[in-house]
Structure 1
Amino acid sequence: MQILISLALFAFVCVLLFTAASQASVRKGSKRTNLLAFWGFAGVAVIFALYFISIYLSWWEVEKDLAQTMGPFGDSFGPLTSLFSALAFAALIWTVVLQGDELQLSRKELALTRQEMTDQRFESMLMRMLEVHTSIVSDMDVRAGGNVVVSRKDCFEHLLMQSFLHRQHNIFKKSGPSGSVPDSFNTYQRSPQTDRISLAPDEVTMNAYEETYKENRNDLGHYFRSLYNILRFISESGREDKFDYARIVRAQLSDYELAINCLNCLSEHGVEKMKPLVEEFSILDNLPKDLYLSEGLMARFDERALKTPKQTA
């Protein structure tokens, strides 16, 4: 009979462990389904019932007169005591394992919450910086001659196609023999014979931009400082998806803005700080070919600046 009860206990432990493994992660609403405890109590009750029935029916070698055989009767609980002590120890270990799983899950949820908060702070700060940058562009105004004032994003077209090219033409004209302009210099007229905005010598082009910048430094200086800080903020964030945020910034730039940024990156105002960021995020990828500078000037850029690298999965 002792062998049968031992086998029953072994079977019960197996059922108990199987139930624990299958139900440990089951939830209904906010409460854990505690089938493990139910089967535990039920199993203990059944085993004790079987034990007392076996004694009462003389299945166990214990005298019926319990008053005279109290010592042997108490000793008869030895095997059960050992088994239940082992079960209690196993339950303690299982509780520790469950608590460890819960703690690990809590840590993961906390890490996700922190990441979400970090993402929200980053995106909120970036949106505020873009709003400030948009207001800076909205406040830009350039006098186009007489009482005509060009404002907002139209400023960049005027600065490039009128102010910059006019200065480039004048500088090149003064540097030519007897103040003449070679036939090859047709940039100012933007002849269909060329697909670039600058065929003048590189030094002439950069001198023309420097004069344009100095005349409009109040607007251009503020604009470039704002754009630089936005790109630097994205670059220093250390995010794996920072290029996606840089795309958002790049999408806000018009064609003429890109051309002005191209010139600025090659000047003393942007070659050290702005140019590396423009190359890192391929800001000039959308620059139209007819607004390219000379081949020599464009060659100063890393190829990343003009072409978005393929994203690897």
Structure 2
Amino acid sequence: MTPRDFKIIGLVVLIFGIYLIVLLWNIWPIQEISISKSGVFGDSFGALTALFSGLAFAGLLVTIFNQREDLGLTKEELRLTREDIKAQHLDTTFFHMLKLQQDIVAGIDLHRSINGNERETKGRDCFKVFSRRIRRAYERLKPNHSTGEQQVIADAYNQIWLKSQSDLGHYFRSLYNLFKYLSENNFSDKKQFGRIARAQLSDYELVVLFYNCVNTKGSSFIRYAKEFEIFDNLDIALLIKKEHVKLLPIKVYGENQPALSIHAGEIPQ
């Protein structure tokens, strides 16, 4: 029982005790009780009966009150349990999606012929190849391109996309859904989970992802790039040109000082 319950019962017992003392005071000694006082004595026991009934009723009220409190506590515990289960489900799903993303990366392979020799590249190393291919395509297209810089990049990227769409398409769809899931659900520490996901991206993955975002194909990912500061760890030295950082909103760079400096108009070193 709660302290409040003890106070209620104690008050009732105190009243009963005072009543009993007064009663005994009035009728003591018992041998001197007259016949006329006997009726009063009997009436006094009738009052005692009423008092005991009241005490029993008070106990019943206390019991009911406790049951209501217990029921309220049970409902609160159930609510907290449901929230814990939901949070665990969110976390489990996130790490499952992250593992799936890693499996997709590990499953990418490229077969190339270099000086007549067949060479196979697997996993994250493929993104270094993709990055170099985008750079070479850009360098081929740039001299004869009369449109703006962003269009040259888009055309160069599209050439690589057409050759590797099955790998890149699967990769970017999975990555997009991972960050979308993070964004749309109520995680206990969404930013921390975002940093965990971001930390899985290699340097060259970030470069290819960067040019994917510059291209219209990846424009829908920019909202998540801003929310989770995806390019906080982007090595701008790996870009075709450092000035290309200006092609995306400044929020995507987080605390990436080299990128922020160029975005602010400072001369790149």
TM-score by length of 2: 0.77
- Indicate whether 1:220 and 2:220 are aligned: no
Alignment equivalent of 2:138, drawn from 168, 175, 180: 168
- Indicate whether 1:155 and 2:103 are aligned: no
Alignment equivalent of 1:251, drawn from 182, 199, 222: 199
Q: 2:264 — aligned with what?
A: none
Give matches, 1:282-297, under 5 Å: 282-292=229-239, 297=244
Deviations 1:201-235 (A, max 9, x none): 33222211111111111100000011111111111
| SS, match of residue 259 in structure 1 | helix
Q: Assess if the C-alpha contact under 8 Å between 1:279 and 1:302 holds in 2.
A: yes
Alignment equivalent of 1:114, drawn from 82, 89, 94: 82
CA distance in 2, matches of 1:159, 1:243: 29
Give matches, 1:157-236, under 5 Å: 157-160=128-131, 162-175=132-145, 201-236=149-184
Name the CA shift for 1:225/1:90 in 2 (closer, same or farther; >3 Å). same
Whichever residue aligns with residue 150 of structure 1, its letter is T
Q: Which moved more, 1:208-217 or 1:96-105?
A: 96-105
- Select the structure that is richer in helix: 2
Q: 2:94 — aligned with what?
A: 126
Deviations 1:48-96 (A, max 9, x none): 875775466238xx9355xx75542232246545655554554444434
| SS, match of residue 216 in structure 1 | helix
Name the CA shift for 1:126/1:20 in 2 (closer, same or farther; >3 Å). closer
| SS, match of residue 120 in structure 2 | strand
Deviations 1:104-160 (A, max 9, x none): 322222122111111221122112212221111111012343411211000001110
Deviations 1:241-274 (A, max 9, x none): 2222111110100011111111111212110x21
Structure 1 runs, 4 residues or longer, greater than 6 Å off: 35-49
Q: 1:58 — aligned with what?
A: 29
Q: 1:143 — aligned with what?
A: 111
CA distance in 1, matches of 2:193, 2:67: 40
Q: Assess if the C-alpha contact under 8 Å between 2:27 and 2:33 holds in 1.
A: no
Deviations 1:159-210 (A, max 9, x none): 10x211111111124449xxxxxxxxxxxxxxxxxxxxxxx93322221111
Q: Assess if the C-alpha contact under 8 Å between 2:127 and 2:204 holds in 1.
A: yes
Q: 1:238 — aligned with what?
A: 186
Q: 1:76 — aligned with what?
A: 44
Whichever residue aligns with residue 136 of structure 2, its letter is H
Name the CA shift for 1:288/1:92 in 2 (closer, same or farther; >3 Å). same
Name the CA shift for 1:262/1:77 in 2 (closer, same or farther; >3 Å). same
CA distance in 2, matches of 1:63, 1:38: 33
Q: 1:280 — aligned with what?
A: 227
Name the CA shift for 1:36/1:252 in 2 (closer, same or farther; >3 Å). same
Name the CA shift for 1:237/1:20 in 2 (closer, same or farther; >3 Å). closer
Q: 1:3 — aligned with what?
A: none
Q: 1:182 — aligned with what?
A: none
Whichever residue aligns with residue 278 of structure 1, its letter is A
TM-score by length of 1: 0.67
Give the drift of 1:298.
2.8
Q: 2:260 — aligned with what?
A: none
CA distance in 2, matches of 1:280, 1:308: 13
Unaligned runs of 5+ in 1: 1-18, 25-34, 177-199
Give the drift of 1:20.
5.0
Name the CA shift for 1:155/1:254 in 2 (closer, same or farther; >3 Å). same
Unaligned runs of 5+ in 2: 257-269
| SS, match of residue 145 in structure 1 | strand
Q: Assess if the C-alpha contact under 8 Å between 2:16 and 2:51 holds in 1.
A: no
Name the CA shift for 1:90/1:301 in 2 (closer, same or farther; >3 Å). farther
CA distance in 2, matches of 1:82, 1:49: 13
Q: Which moved more, 1:285-294 or 1:80-89?
A: 80-89
